[in-house]
Amino acid sequence: MFGRTSSHQCVPHATGMYQCSSCCMSCLCIQLGAQKQSQGLQYSPARLQEQLGATQAQEQQSLQQLSRTNEAIQGLHRKVAELQQQLCWQVQDMENLQAELAQARQESTKQAEKIAAYKTHRQQLHRELRRMQTFKEQSKQEVLQSNNLTAPALCDSAELPPPGGRATRATSSRTRSSTKQSKD
């Protein structure tokens, strides 16, 4: 230390000071350092007690802060667990909703098919109804024509319609002309 050479030997004295065979600067520095240390030790019990109290107070504050931090962390862990549980429920709800949506789409498709079949059937019924109405009108007109043709002929005892119930054009024109002649 302090630049001592290996040939130089310092020996500690009972007073705590170092003595050496030759008085040198390095020994003096060591002696001064030892004095300062011993003086520091003489005054340190009260200071150490103060420092110990301050350290214990800081340690207590640190422990309290650590406790609050641990509580906050545990609170955050609980919150995370709650959020994870909510997320699981939401995922399950989402899966259920997707299944319900798929089922509703299938049902909607079935209903659309039924509606299309109903519309097709309805159109067929309307066409059939129109055909029947047209046929009815034609039949009614034929009956009226037949009645118009046969009524004057029966009254005049003229020619009767052929056995099918329908008069031909030639017969109907003769009947009309004969009806006109009889009126004249």
Band of the pLDDT at 48, cuts 50, 70, 90?
Answer: confident
Tell me, what's the pLDDT at 11?
A: 55
Consecutive H or E run containing 36 = helix 25-156
Residue 58 has pLDDT above 80, yes or no: yes
Mean residue pLDDT across the chain:
75
Distance CA 10, CA 17 (A): 10
Length of the chain in terms of residues written? 184
CA torsion sign for 143, 144, 147, 149 is negative
The pTM for the full model equals 0.36
Residue 101 has pLDDT above 80, yes or no: yes
Residue 5 has pLDDT above 80, yes or no: no
Measuring CA to CA, which residue among 158, 161, 101, 166 is closest to residue 138?
A: 166
Distance CA 102, CA 98 (A): 6
Tell me, what's the pLDDT at 164?
A: 56
Distance CA 168, CA 166 (A): 6
Residue 104 has pLDDT above 90, yes or no: yes
Distance CA 76, CA 2 (A): 57
Tell me, what's the pLDDT at 30?
A: 64
Consecutive H or E run containing 12 = strand 10-12
